[in-house]
Amino acid sequence: RDDLVVLGIETSCDDTAASIVRGNGEILSQVISSQAELLSRYGGVAPKRAEEAHLQVIDQVVQQTLDSANMTGKNLSAVAVTIGPGLSLCLRVGVKKARRVAGLFNLPIIGIHHMEAHALVARLIEKDLQFPFLALLISGGHNLLILARSLGHYVQLGTTIDDAIGEAYDKTARWLGLDIGKGGGPALEELAREGDADSVKFSIPMRQHKDCNFSYAGLKTQVRMAIESRNICIDKSPIFSANSLDRRSRADIAASFQRVAVVHLEDRCERSIEWAMKIEPSIKCLVVSGGVASNQYVRNRLNHLVVKNGLRLVCPPPSLCTDNGMGCGVMVAWTGIEHFLVGRYDFPPPVNDPEDYM
């Protein structure tokens, strides 16, 4: 395994990331180029602009990744690249680059599912984390409960029927008028520390549904109504901000939102443990990954629940949980290693004229 060296490339959304990881899990290099500034200028991810930004930096990011590992393409064993889910224009930039590198150096190529990478990176952190295990993947676009039975064999126990939890954090932060330069989630987590989590009574989503699915759209509406009803300056215009609320009331709303958002996660995780135990009685761990998993309150609450149910919580560090963290390419490279080791890879078409691939 020590001889195995895989380059991972990730361009599924707004950051261009690459990394080189050794088969034993040693991270040799990791590089990320962020489009955060571009996004704040345009107020969101515009696929065409994001594609252009990826195109501008992809060669440089991969070269820097090789340089800082003191390697050339000749030293690599394989190239792994995210093939979905994500913005197709953006994914294509990464896939083309991966095919170019693989084609030039005659390397196998491994297509990676972004959410699988979020789950499997936990096995890089905890070398003794064995299949089967449960995984809760919580990000801006996804809310998934997965029973990972073996490599490539995943049973979806639950998903969101509308919004993901990260989306609810982001909107709440915006409506509360927070500075979301570092992202809505972290800003809200910080403000919530000052608030009373029991002060605003939001109802817990989907209590009457005895399944493992999620819903955050209703909670978002409740939060919006709470802000509107407290803000005496509010008019009926679609654009509103709660800047006129004093900090204490905003903190109370933030804390109350966060409490209920996480109780919903706890409800679903507890039921999924019950379900998973019936299918795979030997599970020992719940992996929590994705951007929202970097939230300390979320981690603490879920840790408590998991331990109470006789399992262990495995949560990768924030840099390996989030798409804009340094380790975003690491999770792709590592998932590539996992697949390579069981012989799951392809070869790109041969390069006749290297210029074609440049």
Which residues make up the interface to ligand KG4 (CB under 6 A)? 139-141, 166, 169-170, 183-186, 189, 290-292, 294-295, 322-324
185 binds, among Zn ion, ligand KG4, none (CB under 5 to 8 A by kind): ligand KG4
Going by C-alpha positions, the residue among 320, 340, 281, 324 that lies closest to residue 126 is 320
Residue 265 half-sphere exposure, CB side, CA atoms within 13 Å? 33
CA gap 336, 110 in Å, rounded: 6
Residue whose CB is less far from ligand KG4, 65 or 82: 82
For 233, list phi and psi in degrees, rounded to 5. Answer: -85, -5
Contact between 271 and 211 under an 8 Å Cβ cutoff? The reply is yes
Going by C-alpha positions, the residue among 41, 44, 34, 36 that lies closest to residue 11 is 34
Residue whose CB is less far from ligand KG4, 65 or 322: 322
Shortest distance (Å) from residue 17 CB to Zn ion: 11
What are the residues whose beta carbons fall under 8 Å from the beta carbon of 337, sequence distance 6 or more? 4, 6, 21, 23, 80
Site for Zn ion contains 170 (CB under 5 A): no
CA gap 159, 92 in Å, rounded: 26
Shortest distance (Å) from residue 6 CB to Zn ion: 19
AA identity, residue 183:
G
What are the residues facing 20 on neighbouring strands? 7, 29
Shortest distance (Å) from residue 14 CB to Zn ion: 11
Residue whose CB is less far from ligand KG4, 36 or 307: 36
249 binds, among Zn ion, ligand KG4, none (CB under 5 to 8 A by kind): none
* Chain residues 69-128 in contact with Zn ion, contact rule CB under 5 A: none
Shortest distance (Å) from residue 328 CB to ligand KG4: 8
> Which residue among 19, 30, 82, 139 contacts Zn ion (CB under 5 A)?
139
Residue whose CB is less far from ligand KG4, 22 or 264: 264
CA gap 83, 344 in Å, rounded: 15
Going by C-alpha positions, the residue among 82, 73, 83 that lies closest to residue 107 is 73
Residue whose CB is less far from ligand KG4, 132 or 329: 329
Shortest distance (Å) from residue 66 CB to ligand KG4: 25
Shortest distance (Å) from residue 122 CB to Zn ion: 14
For 262, list phi and psi in degrees, rounded to 5. Answer: -85, -30
336 binds, among ligand KG4, Zn ion, none (CB under 5 to 8 A by kind): none
Residue whose CB is less far from ligand KG4, 195 or 290: 290
Is the bond preceding 132 in cis, omega lying within 30 degrees of 0?
yes
Residue whose CB is less far from ligand KG4, 75 or 324: 324
What are the residues facing 214 on neighbouring strands? 160
User: Would you tell me how many other CB atoms lie within 10 Å of the CB of residue 321?
Assistant: 27
Query: What residue is closest to Zn ion based on CB?
Result: 323
Site for Zn ion contains 10 (CB under 5 A): no
Shortest distance (Å) from residue 358 CB to ligand KG4: 30
Shortest distance (Å) from residue 249 CB to ligand KG4: 20
Residue whose CB is less far from Zn ion, 139 or 160: 139
AA identity, residue 69:
A
272 binds, among ligand KG4, Zn ion, none (CB under 5 to 8 A by kind): none
> Which residue among 79, 323, 329, 334 contacts Zn ion (CB under 5 A)?
323
Tokens of 258: 């966060």
183 binds, among ligand KG4, Zn ion, none (CB under 5 to 8 A by kind): ligand KG4
- The DSSP bridge pattern shows strands 312-314 and 285-289 to be parallel
- The DSSP bridge pattern shows strands 78-84 and 109-113 to be parallel
Shortest distance (Å) from residue 253 CB to ligand KG4: 15
Q: What's the Cα-to-Cα distance from 114 to each of 9, 87, 260, 290, rounded to whole Å?
A: 11, 12, 28, 10
Residue whose CB is less far from ligand KG4, 157 or 328: 328
Contact set with Zn ion (CB under 5 A): 139, 323
